[in-house]
Chains A and B, each alone.
Chain A
Amino acid sequence: GNSVTQMEGPVTLSEEAFLTINCTYTATGYPSLFWYVQYPGEGLQLLLKATKADDKGSNKGFEATYRKETTSFHLEKGSVQVSDSAVYFCALSVYGQNFVFGPGTRLSVLP
């Protein structure tokens, strides 16, 4: 079946540090890949997505590249802010149905 694996958290960084959150996936077919973010007390929000190999999704300074050869979709940001503190979920879907989410990685950014 389809699955998503993320690096274990929590991740604690100082403001302006570089962020990487690793994500790898297993899927049949041709999945689309996503990063969702959950701020405290809220539901998940779509952060970025990529629909085919070598696509790069980007939003709010975050980037992730769909790497089919390594089945990965790592999230990166060059300079994190305190407001980026949240839980980040990697996810996939095939044909826009039945999304599969990773366990989430909690990020804390200290001033």
Chain B
Amino acid sequence: NAGVTQTPKFRVLKTGQSMTLLCAQDMNHEYMYWYRQDPGMGLRLIHYSVGEGTTAKGEVPDGYNVSRLKKQNFLLGLESAAPSQTSVYFCASGAGEKLFFGSGTQLSVL
């Protein structure tokens, strides 16, 4: 029972590089979310999706793009990474009022 799977688990980028984080869920959930977790600030919503082909901005969307081409996958892209994007990124999928989280991606931008 995989649940929510994130790849990669760790990544180091140089300023200006691009990358894509992949989130996959096998629970047939409509809702999917990308959060970032920073010390003392809890989780902040970057983007979310309410179904295949839909995306919406969250609290801190600048510098990120997302796509939901398939129901089970939600991709988070950084087109030109900046040191301010050093963080731990969590994907979640939702069924009603319960969220299921992946184990996170630790990203460092130098």
Which residues of A approach B to under 8 Å, CB–CB? 4, 32, 34, 36, 41-46, 49, 51, 89, 93, 96-99, 101-104
Docked Cα-Cα span, A46 to B104, in Å, equals 16
The smallest C-beta distance from B16 to any residue of chain A, in angstroms, reads 29
Residues of B within 8 A of A104 (CB): 42
B101 and A45 contacting across the interface, CB-CB below 8 Å: yes
Residues of B within 8 A of A45 (CB): 101
Residues of B within 8 A of A101 (CB): 35, 42-43
The smallest C-beta distance from A85 to any residue of chain B, in angstroms, reads 18
The smallest C-beta distance from B83 to any residue of chain A, in angstroms, reads 22
Ranked nearest first, the 10 interchain pairs of A and B with the lowest CB-CB distance are A43-B101, A103-B42, A101-B43, A101-B42, A44-B101, A96-B97, A43-B103, A96-B96, A43-B102, A104-B42
Docked Cα-Cα span, A101 to B99, in Å, equals 12
- B4 close to chain A: CB less than 8 A: yes
> At the interface, is chain A mostly helix, strand, loop or mixed?
strand
Q: How many of B's residues come within 8 Å of A, CB to CB? A: 23
Residues of B within 8 A of A97 (CB): 31, 50
B40 and A103 contacting across the interface, CB-CB below 8 Å: yes
Which residues of B approach A to under 8 Å, CB–CB? 4, 31, 33, 35, 40-43, 45, 48, 50, 58, 90, 92, 94, 96-99, 101-104
A51 and B103 contacting across the interface, CB-CB below 8 Å: no
Residues of B within 8 A of A89 (CB): 42-43
Docked Cα-Cα span, A96 to B30, in Å, equals 12
Residues of A within 8 A of B58 (CB): 98
Docked Cα-Cα span, A32 to B58, in Å, equals 19
Q: A43-B103, A51-B97 are in contact. List 10 more A-B contacts (CB 8 A).
A: A32-B97, A34-B97, A41-B103, A43-B4, A44-B43, A89-B42, A89-B43, A96-B94, A98-B45, A103-B42
